[in-house]
Structure 1
Amino acid sequence: MPFSNTHNKFKLNFKSEEEYPDLSKHNNHMAKVLTPDLYKKLRDKETPSGFTLDDVIQTGVDNPGHPFIMTVGCVAGDEESYTVFKDLFDPIIQDRHGGYKPTDKHKTDLNHENLKVGSQPAAGPGRGQRGGRDRHGEGETGRGEAERALNSLTGEFKGKYYPLKGMTEQEQQQLIDDHFLPLTPWPLAASHSRHNDNKSFLVWVNEEDHLRVISMEKGGNMKEVFRRFCVGLQKIEEIFKKAGHPFMWNEHLGYVLTCPSNLGTGLRGGVHVKLPHLSKHAKFEEILTRLRLQKRGTGGVDTAAVGSVFDISNADRLGSSEVEQVQLVVDGVKLMVEMEKKLEKGQSIDDMIPAQK
């Protein structure tokens, strides 16, 4: 179903300067890039499905930004958004992804054998589907195709599908308690491993992107978590390819997702680790930056650490492969655990401060 762009046609009756949003108090990449001239240049353009500039920037206009995190402030409604509105997206992508240029090419590597193990991240990327759309234009047809595809998974990936509208309150609360369903849930599908009770492989449908694939487990078997993710993701992609809806991917952007921050791999490999001493060290933030890692609370991006337990994950998405990004997490967490042990003994870690990765 195409986007309804009737509102945009009407707005073109007004002058560009009358419609240009007030971004003076905004802290996001969109607000840094968008100018009155650029707005005027792009405001009458739309993708084949009807996605417009105002649709692209609406989230960044409505949400001025996070006080501590530089948010993106725009979304792509479909694959063509990144081409039609490239004058806006290209500088945002370059700013958000450390100088990634419009001519750069992304690397993809889903061979889990290439990972050198050492810790326990849980991989959770998003995926967009060609022939459908990201969440902003998905609708019932695309969701039905996703449901049928996921229900055809077999072996260790076979599981139960939970339609949001059909879940009982008890089922919904259990999924929230298991960290499988966001507090403000979108329709989802959860495909659980049949070999254990840990629900170690699941898929959300229409959460932020068309699909979000998650592999996770307790303990330190990083190799198994990443193997399950890679194999499961490739099986899902194969099913969608046969149905004529391959994942959106190109040489420049890698996997194409709704938010420019997730372009490339769309992967966040996170480890929950307790760092009571290191987290109080004056150079904790610098160490994370040098290791190309980021921290958040175990409850999500806007949560604080509880009991000095942090969710440590890769900061990069674009320009390096899945294996390379998870490897940074594995190696970085290992180093930080070693630092924590030294600090616990009252020893200095000055000689362990890493060079910039």
Structure 2
Amino acid sequence: MARVRTPELYADLRAKSTPSGSPLGDIIQTGVDNPGHPYIMTMGCVAGDEESYDDRHGGYKPSDEHKTDLNPDNLWRVRTDRGIRGFCPPHCGRGERGAISSSRWKLCGAWPSMTQVEQQQLIDDHFLFDKPVDNKTFLVWISEEDHLRIISMQKGGNMKESKNYEFMWNPHLGYILTSPSNLGTGLRAGVHIKLPHLGKHEKFPEVLKCLRLQKRGTDLLGFSEVELVQGVVDGVKLLIQMEQRLEQGQAIDDLVPAQK
């Protein structure tokens, strides 16, 4: 935010308003509270509401268009976020949070109050929020960063919409979410792999950059769900191939991909 927020831009954005009345201060508060690091860029603003991306974005081009070919039966171990139309993301008040949590979502599982022991068990299981199904393959976080964060840990975990509300979506930017970095699919796909040799190699950062991979993926907007997941699959396959080369004391220069 410090790089792009000029006094002129601030004055222009402050003068604009959206139907929910989302103040500019709420939108940029995360950039004020989290200044980041010269080498670790953090998100400097969030969306105050769905209309913020039209009225305040000032930078998205017509070419920044989301495309989708989501087939939930082909997905596994994925996380996707959704924002509910009509509710405000970052400055959502207690009343709106209550309305979201009390809505009759058609989700499988219980909605119990939890003891401290049960909450700690969820923390230990890395679920943190509301109780998942008993086999811990499907869970939903409510009112964390976005209204809904839907996590499937098994193949074929179909994601169904509620009958009462719409998810925020438009054909230009895809799914509208709190953080601009999550626009598009709102989907993150990842794996856990050990790369003891490649992880220490001097070209490891270059390889990840060329594959558009991080400890979390780099892309969401402008790529379909299938393309994003396939990129992770192809990238991990290459990383394992490189690791095997290094285990045998062989060079990996010929495997380093070109920048995409």
Does the C-alpha gap of structure 1 residues 138 and 130 become closer, same or farther in structure 2, counting only changes over 3 Å? farther
Residue 142 of structure 1: how far off its partner (Å): 5.0
Residues 156-175 of structure 1 aligned to structure 2 (within 5 Å):
158-162=108-112, 166-175=113-122
Residue 190 of structure 1: how far off its partner (Å): 3.7
Task: Give 1:325's aligned residue.
Answer: 228
For residues 241 and 102 of structure 2, what CA distance do their matches in structure 1 show? 44
1:351 to 251, 254, 260: 254
Does the C-alpha gap of structure 1 residues 35 and 322 become closer, same or farther in structure 2, counting only changes over 3 Å? same
Residues 207-356 of structure 1 aligned to structure 2 (within 5 Å):
207-216=144-153, 224=155, 227-228=156-157, 231=158, 233=159, 235=160, 237=161, 239=162, 242-243=163-164, 245-295=165-215, 313-356=216-259
For residues 273 and 83 of structure 1, what CA distance do their matches in structure 2 show? 40
SS at match of 1:274: coil
Task: Give 1:301's aligned residue.
Answer: none
For residues 66 and 3 of structure 2, what CA distance do their matches in structure 1 show? 25
SS at match of 1:149: coil
SS at match of 2:66: coil
Residue 72 of structure 1: how far off its partner (Å): 1.7
For the 8 Å contact 2:65–2:221, the answer to whether it is kept is no
1:65 to 31, 36, 39: 36
Residue 345 of structure 1: how far off its partner (Å): 1.4
For residues 61 and 273 of structure 1, what CA distance do their matches in structure 2 show? 35
Q: Percent identity of the aligned residues?
A: 60
Amino acid in the other structure paired with 2:208:
L
Task: Give 2:65's aligned residue.
Answer: 105
Does the C-alpha gap of structure 1 residues 215 and 143 become closer, same or farther in structure 2, counting only changes over 3 Å? farther
Does the C-alpha gap of structure 1 residues 138 and 321 become closer, same or farther in structure 2, counting only changes over 3 Å? farther
TM-score, normalised relative to structure 1: 0.68
2:77 to 99, 122, 132: 122
For the 8 Å contact 2:26–2:91, the answer to whether it is kept is no
Q: Which runs of 5+ in 2 are unaligned?
A: none
For the 8 Å contact 1:128–1:256, the answer to whether it is kept is yes
Residue 161 of structure 1: how far off its partner (Å): 2.3
Q: Does 1:206 align with 2:156?
A: no
Amino acid in the other structure paired with 2:246:
L
For residues 200 and 115 of structure 2, what CA distance do their matches in structure 1 show? 43
TM-score, normalised relative to structure 2: 0.91
For the 8 Å contact 2:78–2:190, the answer to whether it is kept is yes
Computed over aligned residues only, the root mean square deviation of the Cα atoms, in angstroms, reads: 2.1
Does the C-alpha gap of structure 1 residues 280 and 73 become closer, same or farther in structure 2, counting only changes over 3 Å? same
For the 8 Å contact 1:267–1:317, the answer to whether it is kept is yes
TM-superposition CA deviations, 1:34-84 (whole Å, max 9, x none): 111111222232211111222211211122114542112101121011122
Amino acid in the other structure paired with 2:92:
G
For residues 103 and 18 of structure 2, what CA distance do their matches in structure 1 show? 28
Q: How many aligned residue pairs are there?
A: 260
Task: Give 1:136's aligned residue.
Answer: 91
SS at match of 2:139: strand
Residue 146 of structure 1: how far off its partner (Å): 4.5
2:126 to 179, 186, 189: 179
For residues 16 and 36 of structure 2, what CA distance do their matches in structure 1 show? 26
For residues 144 and 72 of structure 2, what CA distance do their matches in structure 1 show? 26
Structure with higher helix content: 1
